[in-house]
Amino acid sequence: MIVFGIDPGLNATGYGVIERSGNRLTPLDLGVIRSGSGELPERLARIFTALGEKLDEWTPEIVGIEDIFTGKNYRGALLLGHARGAAILAVARRGTPLHQYPAAVVKQAVVGNGRAAKEQGNYMVRRLLQLPDDKIASDAADALSIAICTVFRNEGIGMMSLSGSR
């Protein structure tokens, strides 16, 4: 099963692709889409197009995306919502099932603590996917976390089954 994770952002949208085979998770692709400068519609089009190309390349069976959160910066939340909308539309146009998760749910699934620090999530992603200790872009690591969470939440496997038999 190919699972695609998206960490939406207007400046940087992270994506991560993993494959689940039995109780094994294998990273296939990860990266960050940068919308660059320009007017908002142009930047959203770049996100939509680039994500669409990656979705076409990997044809995932399921996609996970981080749910919107609100903070004290309402303008930032609104811009994030626009980027998230472009990402959701890219997935919807392909008819791929999409699941949305709050950040705390993703952290709980990957780290075991919904209030874990970003660094803990990045560390666990590297361990679970057996990636080298090299620095992974934060947005890409977050997207891989979302993909891992999507597997755990939709396949009924837990953290322990990764190392044991199912």
Query: What average pLDDT does this structure show over 104-113?
Result: 93
State the pLDDT at residue 163.
34
| Catalytic-residue membership of 133 | no
Question: What are 153's two structure tokens?
Answer: 């939440």
Q: Which fold has domain 2-157?
A: Nucleotidyltransferase; domain 5 (3.30.420)
What pLDDT score does 70 carry? 64
Is 56 assigned a catalytic role? no
Q: Which of 67, 134, 139, 142 is catalytic?
A: 139
pLDDT tens column, 121-150: 999 999 999 998 788 899 999 999 999 999
8 Å CB contact between 65 and 146: yes
* Nearest-angstrom CA–CA distance, 99 and 27: 19
Identify the pLDDT of residue 85: 97
Separation CA 18–CA 143 (nearest Å): 10
Q: Across the strands, what pairs with 66? A: 101
Q: Out of 66, 67, 142, 155, pick the active-site residue.
A: 66
Is 4 within 8 Å of 65 (Cβ atoms)?
A: no
Is 7 one of the catalytic residues?
yes
